[in-house]
Structures are given as structure tokens and as C-alpha cells.
A and B are shown apart, each in its own frame.
Chain A
Amino acid sequence: MYILAAFILLIVMAFALIRAFKGPTLYDRILAVNTFGTKTVLLIAVMNFLAGRQDFLDIAIVYALINFISVIGILRFFEYSTKLPLDEDL
């Protein structure tokens, strides 16, 4: 059961990754990064039970915190940069 959940989470992460690669606007990328981060937290929590060790949950907590901080950081640094065109020329 854990394996199924972990597998689905991996698929979800792959989807988020594709969106982060494609992302027509920058905000799509930020959203993808955020989604990716929350899914990593869940994946680690599941992996914790999969591996049978109970020590890994600290890492999941750190992920949740760091993910939040980095999303806020990206937003803050992007918001105050000069007016840029929305669509990236890739």
C-alpha cells in the first residue's frame, strides 16, 4: 500500500516537473516548484514507513519549512524586480 502511494506521488512529481519545464509563465514554474515540494514532503513521510525507520520525519518537517521559505523568497525577489515581460522567450 505504501508502495502504491509512493508510486503515485512519484508520478505526481513527474507531472509537476514537466510543468516546471514547460511553464509558459514564471508563476507556473513557481506553482510547480511549490507542488513539487509538498509532494516531496508526503513522499518522505511515506518512505519513512516504507523503510521502517522512524527518524526520517524530521526531514519531512524541514522540507515543509524550507519549501515555504523558498517559495516566498522567489516571490519576494521576483515581485520587486523591475517590470519584466510576462512571457519568457525561451
Chain B
Amino acid sequence: MEMLLDILSWILLASGSFFCLTGAVGLLRFPDFFTRIHATGITDTMGAGLILIGLMLQASNWIVFVKLVIILLFSLLAAATACHAIAKAALKSGLKPRTKDNREIEPEEQPSKP
């Protein structure tokens, strides 16, 4: 049982880290703002959730567990809301998503999904 929990939490930690890493690569490499927020906004939530659940399985007493649950709730709420707010503010300020017709930045690359 102990072994099983360990393995499970390791898997969760590893996959969470992997998601975070992909998100960061996206943040660094994607061509414009909206693709970047797409990359990080989703992987952030996923990665954070996986890592925190992985840690929860390792929690030694219930207070740690509860605190981790609180962090998870907060990050689920806050990360998604913050991303939404940033994207909305950017859109309102006149930042255009890069589409097929509108690619003034680095036009030689193929646009990724908006």
C-alpha cells in the first residue's frame, strides 16, 4: 500500500513537472501573446494540480493534507481567473490575436492555433 502510494505520487509529480515544463517552453517559444497565454494558462493549472495531488499522497498528517487542498483550491481559482483577466485586458487594449490574415509579427512562421 505504502509502495503503491509512493509510486502513484511519483508518477503524478513527474507528469506535473512535465506539464509545467511544456507550458514554460510554450511561454518562451510561441510567437505572440495569445498563444503564450494559451500555452501557460492550461498547463499551469494541470501541472499545479498534478504536483499538489502528488504531494498530498505523501502528506504525513491531515493538517498538511488540508493545507495542500487549500493551496490547490486557491491556485485553481486564482490562476484561471488571473489568466482570464490578463487576456481580457490585453484584448481590450487593442492587442490583436495573430490569425492567418493578421500576422505582422514574424510573418514567415506558420501561425499556431489562436
Interface residues of A (CB under 8 A from B): 1-2, 4-5, 8-9, 11-12, 15-16, 18-19, 24-25, 27-28, 30-32, 34-35, 38-39, 41-42, 45-46, 49, 54, 57-58, 60-61, 64-65, 67-68, 71-72, 75, 78-79, 86
Contact = CB atoms under 8 A, between A and B. Distances in A.
Interface residues of B, number: 48
Interface in B6-64: 10, 13-14, 16-18, 20-21, 23-25, 27-28, 33, 36-37, 40, 44, 47-48, 51-52, 55, 58, 60-61, 63-64
A78 B101 CA distance: 29
B24 A61 contact: no
Interface SS, A side? helix
B33 A27 contact: yes
Contacts of B83: 31, 34
B44 A35 contact: yes
Interface of B: 10, 13-14, 16-18, 20-21, 23-25, 27-28, 33, 36-37, 40, 44, 47-48, 51-52, 55, 58, 60-61, 63-64, 67-68, 70-71, 74-75, 78-79, 81-83, 85-86, 89-90, 92-95, 105
